[in-house]
Every structure is written in C-alpha cells, then in structure tokens.
Structure 1
Amino acid sequence: MMGPRQEAQPALFYEFSLEDHVPQDHLLRSIDRFVDLSSIRAHLADFYSHTGRPSVDPELLIRMLLVGYCFGIRSERRLCDEVHLNLAYRWFCRLDLSDKVPDHSTFSKNRHGRFRDSELLRHLFETAVARCIEEGLVSGQRMAVVASLIEADANKQNSTPKEEWHASQIDPADAPRAVREYLDTLDEAAFGAASEVQPKFTSHSDPASQWTAARKGPAFFSYSGTYLIDTDHGVIVDVEATRSIRQAEVGSIKTMLKRVKEKFDLHPERLIADTAYSTGPMLGWLVDRKIAPHIPVFDKSGRSDGTWTRADFEWDAENDQYICPEGHELKQFRRNYSDPNRGPTGKGVAKYRGLKLTCQACPSKPRCCPNMDFRSITREEHEDARQVARDIAKTHQYDISMKLRKKVEMLFAHLKGILGLGRLRLLGPCGANDEFLLAATAQSLRKLAKILPAPQQSKKA
C-alpha cells in the first residue's frame, strides 16, 4: 500500500559529521592528501597589516579556488554557492555546517592585491610540482612542450584597428587595470617585445590579448598558455602565459627551462616539441646546453624538380665550404674584401657558390643547376644544430618521442573539455597568468589523485 506522506520533522539536537558524509572514493579525498598549504601564511606575512580587522583565512580562499578549477566551476559567485551547498566542498575547505562562506568579492580583492604581489599562485603551483617530484612521478629526463590558444574575454566589437590605436595617448593613472598591465608588458619578451608587428585589431578591455586567426577559422582575441611537462607521467613542471604569436611561445621555453633548473634542479636530456619550435636560434640554444632537440625541422632545402638538394652536398666545416657530389668546392668568399658591404651580411644566413666556369663544364650540371650558371647553397647561422635535429629524427628514440608528445596535447584537451577553460574569465596578462597557474595546479593535483588514490576504508557495521 502507499506509505505515509514524507514530512520534515524538526529535531532539537543533531549529531552530524561532515567526515561521515563525504564518500571515501570522492576525488577531493585523494586530492586533499597532496594539498600542502602550510607555508602560505609565512609566504603572505609581509603583505598583511599588523593592525585592523582579521582577514579571511587565505588558506580557505586557496582551497575554494582549487575546488573551482578542479571541477570546472568558472564563476566565483557560483563557486561560493556550490561550497555553501556541497558537503564534500565544505569538508575540503575545512568549513563546518555553521561556518559562513566568504563573499565572492573577497577573491578579487586578494587576487589583485596580495596574491599577485607575493606571487602566491606561482608558489602554490611549484609546491604541487615539488610533491609530484617527491612521489617519484618526475624524472626530468624527457620533457615536452606545446602551446595552446585560449580565447580571451574580449570581442571585436569593442576593439580598434591598429592604425587608430595610440598607446601613448593613454594616461596610466586613469586607465583600467588590464590596460595598465598592457603598458607594463610592452618591454617584456613574452608580450610587447616579442615582435614589432602590431596586431590588426586591439581590444579596448584587454589590449594585451592577441587578435589571431591561427585556428584557420574566424579570428578572435586570445592568449597562449605553454606547458612544459615531464613525459614519464605527464606531469606539468612549468607553465607560462604569453602573447599568441610564435616568437613569444618559442621564447617561453628558455624561461621555463631556466626556471625548473633553478627551482627543482631539473635538466632534461631531451626536449620534445613540434615544428613551430624548430627555429635555428632555438635549436642552437638547446644544443649548446646539451639538450637533444627531438623536434621536426622545418626545412625548405628540398627540391621538387629532381635536382640535387642541399643534403647531397657534403659540409666541410674545417674549410667553411660545401663539396658537391662531383668534388667541386662551393665557397662563401674567395678573397678578402676591402669594402665591408661586400662581406658577410650579418643576418644569420650565408650563401655558398660554385665557380661559373667549373659549373658550366661539369657533366652533372643538368642534375645540379640546369637553369643557373652556377650552383649556390644557403646556410643558416645555426645549421649545425639543425643538422643535429635532422640526425635525431632518423632514430627510433625520435619515433617514441613523437608518441610521447601527445601527452601534453591531451593535457590541453583535458583543460578545455573537462575543466572548462576554453575561454579566460580574467583580463590582462596577470589574469591570464593566474588562470593558467591555477589550472595547472589543479591538473597536477588530479594527476596525483589518479595515480595515488586515497586508500579505501571499510565501512562501519
């Protein structure tokens, strides 16, 4: 038969424990084992006043932010509501049932103030990386790097064409925060100084974001997030926010490799990346530091007409010349020029030429230079490093590296598809950096929780 109507019966006393109502297999239980916030207060001590009303516990704010980024809660208003209602979130944030959840505006005040001034989010991320190293998930031998575009919180309707944009007319004192950050980054290699080319459009709300059509579709404003990962378990060891152009993304590698060396004493034996990172200076920088570049080289020296390519010519480094298959010499200079304008150009590219008389009389001219009086070959400044990368590409280890590179691409797929970071919410370079750091921290903690889950406790009878 039908049972009685269910009605709430108020009680005078309750025996309630959050610990008993959070499932043993909940993700936050595993994550909580690896969250070490013991150093936060000491890290922020100099950024709090010794007088006045007590502030909200910074550890509580960080725990709430971790919940938001671990579960894809993008809005801080919604995050406060979710922590208020969800028992597991309250348990992770060390809030009892009667404890009040901080107001959403508290996050903005702390983020724009003491959190950024103290680089707290960078410290939090590095703490998570240190725990991954401690747990044996990072060897530092093989690392991979890749950048991904993340749409900025800006649109074309609120932008100005480059010929109408005059940054010098902006008064920094009256400008919005994102504009002031843009002006502050004009000389930084990751943003303003990365290239002299100005974007087609500049956003009014976030001028540091890059107008780009790199996805071969409709153009949009974006930032680039670059991950440096250890390929053993796909752990992110560093992250950098940059302008969405190749020069800035490639330059961030040097910053990250130097930082992990200084912070964690990690020096990879090889670096895995895609063709965008195969510039001569980048390959030369890696080879000089004894890092094997497992990077496909973008090479235009090949020919489609069946004639000899540069690879068919032997390089004679001792005499600074090429030797053709017929044994003839191709030299850059055959005499000392008194006019400096006729000497080396200094542009990083050298041109080696054969003698006209020799080439005209050569029986292999139809296979070498059928439409030219003599054969010439260009050689870049870092051609030795490019050749090192070409030789590595012929090895079995290179094939393994190309498969391992998918791990870092999967991290960005997880970032956008699962954690919901397909579009940035915060404005300015600092906002983009904050979001990338928090997202990378959340991914590192989730990685630890997945590989080393919390032990399951037997249920009480």
Structure 2
Amino acid sequence: MMGERTQMQEALFYEFSLERHVPADHLLRAIDRFVDLTEMRSHLKAFYSDTGRPSVDPELMIRMLIVGYCCGIRSERRLCQEVHLNLAYRWFCRLGLEGRVPDHSTFSKNRHGRFRDSDLLRHLFEAVLDRCIEEGLVGGDGFAVDASLIKAEASRQKGVEGTSGLPPHSTGRAAREYLATLDDAAFGAATEVTPKFISPADPAARWTGAHGGQAFFAYSTNYLIDVQHAIIVDVEATTAIRQAEVLAARRMIERSMDRGLYPERLMGDSAYGSAEMLAWLVHEHGIEPHIPVFDHSGRRDGTFSRADFAYDHGRDLYTCPGGAELRAFRRPGKTGANVDALGLMRYRASKHDCDACALKPRCCPKEPARKILRSIHEGARDMARDIAATPVYATSRRERKKVEMLFAHLKRILKLDRLRLRGPNGARDEFHLAATAQNLRKLAKLIPAGTRPVTA
C-alpha cells in the first residue's frame, strides 16, 4: 500500500552533534587544523573598551571571512545566510546549532575601524604563512613574482576625463584614501602620466586596457611565491601599472628577507627585467635574476644591432663588425661622467673610421658615425642573459607559471575576478584575505590529517 508522510512532530529533546555531521574529507575540516586565532585578540585588544556591552566575537568574524574567501562566497550578506544554514560552516565558526550569526553590517563597521587600524588581516596572512614555514612548505631556494589585474568596483561608463581631476562631489571614503595615496610610489606617485579616465566612485583605480579588449578600472594584486609548493610568501596591492608592480616586487622581497627568507633566484617576466631592477637583485641582494632582459636595442631596419658589437670589459670599449673601436671618451685625457639621466653611457666611433668603412650602409647609413648606448647596470643585464642560456633557466620558466596558476585559481575558484570593496584599503583587505585562503587550501591539500608535509 502507498505510504503517507506523517506530520513532523517537535521532540522535547535532541541528541545532535555537529562534529559527527561534518564529513571527514570536508575542506573546512582540513583547513581548521591550521587556523589558530589566539594571537589575533592581542592585536585587537587596544581597540576595544573595557566597559560596555560585549561585542561580536572578532574570532567569529574572521572565521566567517575565511569561509567566504575559501568557498568563493563574495557577498557578506549571502555569507551570513550560508553560515546560518550550513552545518559545516557553523562547525568551523564554532557557532553550534543555537549560535547567532552576526548581521552583515557588522563586517563593514569592523573592517573600516578596528580591523584596518590594527592591520589585522595582514597579521592573519602572516600567521598562516608562519604555519606554512613551520610545516616545511617554504624552501626559500626560488621565488617567483608576478602581478594580475583585478577589476575595481567602478563603472567604466561613469568615468570622467582624467585631465579634469577628481570631481568635487567625490567625498566618500574611497576618495579620501585616493588623496592619501597621491604621494605613495605604489599608487599616485607611480607615474606622472595622467590617466585617461578617473572613476568618481573609486579614484585610485587605474584606467587600463592591458587585456586588449575594453578598457576598465582595475587594481593589481602582486604575488611573491615560493616555487617549491607555490606558497604565497607575500602579497601587495598597487595601482595597475608596471612601475608600481616592480616597486611592489622590491617591497615584498625585502619583507621576506626580514622574515629570514633569502631566495637564491627570482623568476619573473620581462616587466621585471629593467636594468635598475636587475642591478638591485644582483648587486644589492645577491639574487640570481631568472628574468628576461627588458631590451629594445634590437633593430628592424636591417642595420647592425648592439648585439653585433663586442664589448671589452678590460678596456671599456666596443668593437664594431668592421673592427673599429667605439669609446666612451674620444678626446685624449678626457674623463668624468658620461651618463645621462636614464643611466645610459654613450660609446661613439670615430667619423674617420666610419667614413672609410664598407659596412657603413649596414651600420649607420643616416648618421656620420655609429654610437652605442650602454646602461651603467649592464653587468647585471649580462648576468641575466648568461643565465637565460642555461638549462636551469628553462626549469625556472616552467616553475614561474605556478604564480599564474594561482591567479587563475584566484579568479575562477575563489571568484575574485572583480573587487567588492573600494579604495586602496579595500583592495588590500581583499587581496590579503584571498592569499590567506589560498595558503590555507594549499596546507589542507599537501598535509592530510595525520601525515607530514610532502617533499619536493
């Protein structure tokens, strides 16, 4: 006979355990082993009063944010709903069955106040990184650096001409943060070029067409990773231009060294291959640059390029394909600075030698004599070129792709292809939380319960 569902009756007593209802292979159960927030209270203690009503537990809010970024829940309103309904989320947040989920507005109030004033999210990222180091997942042999554009919470249709400046009605928090970062080399002072458009909603976001399609407002998230297990050892938010990204790489490397992490080699793309950056790596920190040299000395008109001229280190001169010498100083006895504002030295051939040379049409057909520009940091550039010819460099090129895979994971799995918060501080908060979530997921993947970390 056909059964009929009976009416649900409320029991007087329940015996229910969240612990038994969270699967052993659940992501949050694997992550929970590495989340230790005991020190977070010490960072926040000075920002709470000793009297008054108890506040929402900051550890609860941090755990909820970890859930949101690990599971790709971008909206804090939706996050509160999911934590209220999902048993695994309740278990991870230590709420139990009867625990009350805080209102979504609580996150905004704490983010713009206590969390930023105490730099809590940076401390959270560093605490997880310390755990990665303790578990042996950071080797320190090779680091890779790269940046990726993340769309800002700003409409491209509502942008105003950059030459007209910030609109008078832009007085919100994002506008104040923009004005506060005008002298920061990672934002306003990164370049003197006026942006084509400015967003009144988020003026610090940079108008960029780097992706080749429609231009948009964006920030750059910069990652420095250890290539052994692709652990993020530092993260920084900057404006979306190359100069700021190179500066962020320097800052992240210096902070890593302050933590006792000294990489032997650094991998990156040609954006980090400028003469100044290579010299900074080689001469100041002794790091091997596994980076393509940023070089525009090649010619496309069929004439000789600088690579066709041999440089003599001992005599400090170039020899052309015809055998003539190009010197930095042509006059006898003349010495002194021959360096321009860009750090380039000029080596010139004699007009007499060039006029008599049969190769002049292939060398300097439109000039009386040939000249060669050489950077004062050319030694570091030569070292990078020599490394590029080794088999180790080919391995480094493959390993560098691990940072690109992290950016793909960031956008496709964690859903951070567009920012939800505005201003430089909002971008910084989101990037720190996302990097923390990625490191936690990596810990959970590489160190199953009851095992030791894997080895390379």
Q: What TM-score do you get using the length of structure 2 for normalisation? A: 0.94
- Secondary structure of 1:405's counterpart equals helix
1:50–1:81 distance in 2 versus 1, CA, 3 Å: same
Q: Which residue of 2 aligns with 1:45?
A: 45
Work out whether 1:290 is the aligned partner of 2:274: no
Give 1:130's aligned amino acid: D
Q: Which of residues 299, 324, 328 is equivalent to 2:320?
A: 324
Q: CA deviation at 1:8?
A: 1.5
Helix, strand or coil at the partner of 1:302: coil
Which residue of 1 is the match for residue 8 of structure 2?
Answer: 8
Deviation of 1:304 (Å):
3.9
Aligned pairs, number: 450
Distance 1:55 1:336, change over 3 A: farther
Is there any run of 5+ residues in structure 1 with no aligned partner, and where? Answer: 457-461
Q: Residue 268 of structure 1: which of 259, 263, 266 is its match? A: 263
Following the alignment from structure 2 to structure 1, what is the Cα–Cα distance between the partners of residues 425 and 166? 22
**Residue pair 1:178, 1:428 contacting (<8 A) in 2 also:** yes
* 1:423 counterpart SS class: coil
Deviation per CA, 1:286-345, whole angstroms, max 9, x where unpaired?
11111111111232222345544322322233433212344422012223899x9x9643
1:163 alignment partner AA = T
SS at match of 1:362: coil
Are 1:105 and 2:100 counterparts? no
Give the AA of the match of 1:33: R
SS in 1 for 2:163: helix
**Whole-Å separation in 1 of the counterparts to 2:415 and 2:340:** 50
1:353 matched to 2:321? The reply is no
Q: Separation in 2 of the partners of 1:132 and 1:90?
A: 25
1:440 aligns with 2:401: no
Q: Deviations over 1:166-201 (max 9, x none)?
A: 57x68xxx9211111001101111101101111111
Cα offset, 1:386, TM superposition:
1.3
Aligned pairs for 1:170-209 (under 5 A) are 175-209=171-205
CA distance in 1, matches of 2:401, 2:125: 23
Displacement of 1:366: 5.0
Contact 1:337/1:343 (<8 A) preserved:
no
* Paired residue secondary structure (2:218): strand
Q: What SS does the corresponding residue of 2:235 show, helix, strand or coil?
A: strand
Is the contact between residue 338 and residue 345 of structure 2 (CA under 8 Å) also seen in structure 1? no
What SS does the aligned partner of 1:3 have? coil
Deviates more, 1:270-279 or 1:3-12: 3-12
Secondary structure of the residue aligned to 2:15 is coil
Q: Aligned equivalents of 2:203 and 2:434: distance in 1?
A: 23
SS at match of 2:432: helix
2:45 is paired with a residue whose SS is helix
Give distance in 2, aligned partners of 1:344 and 1:39: 52
Structure 2 residue identity aligned to 1:281: E
SS at match of 1:196: coil
Q: Distance in 2 between matches of 1:363 and 1:202?
A: 55
Counterpart of 1:120 in structure 2 is 120
Aligned to 2:454: none
Is the CA contact 2:209–2:216 (under 8 Å) kept in the aligned structure 1?
yes
Which amino acid in the other structure matches residue 56 of structure 1? V
Counterpart residue identity of residue 52, structure 1: G
SS of equivalent to 1:182: helix
Q: Which amino acid in structure 1 is aligned with residue 182 of structure 2?
A: L
**Percent identical residues:** 63
**1:449 equivalent in alignment to 2:409:** no
TM alignment of 1:223-238, pairs within 5 A: 223-238=219-234
Give, in whole Å, the separation in 2 of the partners of 1:258 and 1:217. Answer: 35
- Distance in 1, matches of 2:371 and 2:263, equals 38
Distance 1:423 1:337 in 2: 62
- 1:293 is paired with a residue whose SS is strand
Aligned residue identity for 1:64: M
Aligned counterpart, 1:214: 210
Once the 2 structures are TM-superposed, how far is the Cα of residue 367 of structure 1 from its aligned partner?
Answer: 4.9
Closer, same or farther: CA 219–9 of 1 in aligned 2, 3 Å: same
Distance 1:344 1:82, change over 3 A: closer
Give per-residue Cα distances to partners, 1:237-289, cap 9 Å, x unaligned.
00000000010011101100111111x21011111001111111111111111
Q: What is the aligned partner in structure 1 of residue 379 from structure 2?
A: 384
The answer on whether the counterparts of 2:174 and 2:202 sit within 8 Å (CA) in structure 1 is: yes
Letter in 2 for 1:259: R
Q: Is the 8 A contact 1:424 1:435 kept in 2?
A: yes
Asked if 1 retains the 8 angstrom alpha-carbon contact of 2:121 and 2:432, the reply is yes
Q: CA deviation at 1:374?
A: 2.4
Query: Any stretches of 5+ residues in structure 2 without a counterpart?
Result: 452-456
**1:392 Cα deviation after fit:** 0.8
SS in 2 for 1:416: helix
TM-score (norm 1): 0.93
The equivalent residue for 1:459 is none
CA-CA distance at 1:117 after TM superposition? 0.6
Q: What CA deviation, in whole Å up to 9, does each residue of 1:112-152 have, x standing for no partner?
A: 01100111000000011111111111011100011000000
Structure 1 position 384, deviation (Å): 1.6
* C-alpha RMSD of matched pairs (Å): 2.1
The reply to whether residue 374 of structure 1 matches residue 403 of structure 2 is no
The one-character-per-residue Cα deviations of 1:185-232 (angstroms, maximum 9, x if unpaired) are: 011111011011111111111000001111000011100001000000
CA separation of 1:296 and 1:345: change in aligned 2, threshold 3 A: closer
Cα deviation 1:351-409 (Å, max 9, x = unaligned) = 21111111222354455445543222111232221111111110101000010011000
Q: Distance in 2 between matches of 1:329 and 1:293?
A: 31
User: Is the aligned partner of 1:412 residue 2:413?
Assistant: no
